[in-house]
Amino acid sequence: MISGKQTVSTYVVILDGGTVETLELTAAQAEGFECLTCKAQCSNGAGAFQPIGRIPSVGSVFQCVACLGGAR
Ligand SMILES: [Zn+2]
């Protein structure tokens, strides 16, 4: 995780598909640097990210492939 971006705030996330959820996220998660579920940073292989939604005026949010169920 990114130590300088661990401040937790509440964000309204518009998920792909149109579902709106209010989530407590770290700044790193909200800005797309960390997986929304496990806080892993984007890398290759099982740590690769896919966009799953966006936060208006903040940016896109991501999950790593492992959390999306691509690597079991
Ligand atoms: Zn993850």
Number of Cβ within a 10 Å radius of residue 62: 22
Q: 32 C-alpha vs ligand 1 centroid, how far in Å?
A: 12
Q: 69 C-alpha vs ligand 1 centroid, how far in Å?
A: 9
pLDDT of residue 57: 94
pTM: 0.86
Q: 68 C-alpha vs ligand 1 centroid, how far in Å?
A: 7
pLDDT of residue 70: 57
Q: 67 C-alpha vs ligand 1 centroid, how far in Å?
A: 4
pLDDT in tens, 16-61: 999 999 999 999 999 999 999 999 988 777 678 999 999 999 999 9
Domain boundaries, the chain: 3-68
Query: What is the spatial distance between Cα 29 and Cα 47, in angstroms, rounded to a whole number?
Result: 14
Q: 57 C-alpha vs ligand 1 centroid, how far in Å?
A: 23
Q: What is the 3 state secondary structure string of the chain?
A: CCHHHCCEEEEEEEECCCCEEEEEEEHHHHCCCEECCCCCECCCHHHCEEEEEEECCCEEEEEEHHHHCCCC
